Amino acid sequence: MKKITICALLLGIVFSCESPANKTGEKTTKVSQPVQKIENPTNKVVLSSEIVWEKLNPARGNQSPQAGTIWGDRKGAVATGFLAKFVDGFSSPPHIHNVTYRAVVIKGLIHNDDENAKNMWMQPGSFWTQPKGESHITAAKGEENIAYVEIDHGPYLVKPTSEAFDSGEKPVNIDASNIVWLNNTTTNWIDNSNASISFLWKNKDLQGLFVKIPKGFMGTLQSNGTVFHAVIIKGNLLYELPTTKEIKRLDAGSYFTAKAKAIHEIFNEEEDVILYIRTNDTIKLSE
């Protein structure tokens, strides 16, 4: 089964209609001003240099991609986000997974599709999903190839195609060039006129989105959920820890999180920064 390339226009219509008023029971109240102080903040930062790498599929030995868990436990039953690293020229044999995953290209070029499909190389900032039970291959080319991978529950396993099954889910590929960006005139989640947001998926009380933070931004990202995971997909972001006031430089693959409503003090001195965010509530980007 070949991947479905999402029509940019259709995607924009769907999510621009849903962003101001959620239909899944999530909070929809517009935040007029960011909270200036949070008692007992739960903010946490993980640098890309702090991630521990291990073999994603040990059965393949030295040919195995590398995996670095960011949050959760990919070998356990919980939701998890991890980085996957592939060598130049990597191509997997056809296989399936026991769970559906979502992924974002961070570095290099990645192809993920039916084994008979023509290569469709996804560039950094591209988003795709892989339904559980569906046979596919994954390939990569470039000096450094890294993707962020996310599952709603584990464990994340690689299985032979002899165990393939139809889950009823359809795969999705959205190249970075087809991402639909909304500005502050079409969503109340951002104040800055140069910032933008793209709603990627929604599942019950959870949703995933991109946030693009422009060069020169100095402000806050307020997260209102009890689930909040933010991964740097592109660029370098300066992040001020609320308790120590220490400033951390977050490059691609780095991460910040909070377990309750939080204020994230962020600064961008360089090129546009793209974040991938997973949350169960609204956010607010303000200067």
**CATH architecture of the domain covering 24-47+179-286:** Sandwich (2.60)
Task: Give the pLDDT mean for 180-205.
Answer: 94
> Would you say the CATH fold of 52-177 matches that of 24-47+179-286?
yes
- pLDDT for 4 beyond 80: no
99 contact partners, CB below 8 Å, separation of at least 6: 132, 151, 152, 153, 154, 155, 156, 157
* CA 214 centroid distance within chain: 18
Between residues 6 and 270, which one has the greater pLDDT? 270
Closest CA to 281 of 254, 266, 255, 260: 260
Assigned CATH for 52-177: 2.60.120.10
Residues 28-74: pLDDT tens digits? 333 334 446 788 999 999 999 999 999 987 877 877 899 999 999 99
Helical segments of the chain, H only:
8-18
Distances (CA, A) of 56 to 115, 121, 148, 158: 20, 21, 13, 9
**What distance in Å separates the CA atoms of residue 124 and residue 278, rounded to the nearest whole number?**
18
Closest CA to 245 of 48, 70, 43: 43
> How many CA atoms within 13 Å lie on the side-chain side of 182?
25
Task: Give the pLDDT mean for 223-249.
Answer: 97
pLDDT at residue 36, rounded to an integer: 61
Question: Using omega within 30 degrees of 0 as the cis cutoff, is the peptide bond preceding 155 cis?
Answer: yes
What residue spans define the domains of the chain?
Answer: 24-47+179-286, 52-177
Mapping DSSP to helix (H, G, I), strand (E, B) and coil, where does residue 167 land? Answer: coil
Residue with tokens 């101001």: 20
Mapping DSSP to helix (H, G, I), strand (E, B) and coil, where does residue 242 land? Answer: coil
Task: Give the pLDDT mean for 159-182.
Answer: 96
Between residues 159 and 5, which one has the greater pLDDT? 159
88 falls in which pLDDT band (50, 70, 90)? very high
Do 200 and 216 meet the contact criterion of CB atoms below 8 Å apart?
no
Angle in degrees, CA 248, 249, 252, rounded to 5: 130
pLDDT at residue 96, rounded to an integer: 96
pLDDT at residue 245, rounded to an integer: 95
The predicted model scores a pTM of: 0.87
Residues 150-170: pLDDT tens digits? 999 999 999 999 999 999 999
**What distance in Å separates the CA atoms of residue 50 and residue 47, rounded to the nearest whole number?**
5
- pLDDT for 9 beyond 60: no
207 falls in which pLDDT band (50, 70, 90)? very high
pLDDT at residue 192, rounded to an integer: 84
131 contact partners, CB below 8 Å, separation of at least 6: 100, 167, 169, 170, 171
Task: Give the pLDDT mean for 231-241.
Answer: 98
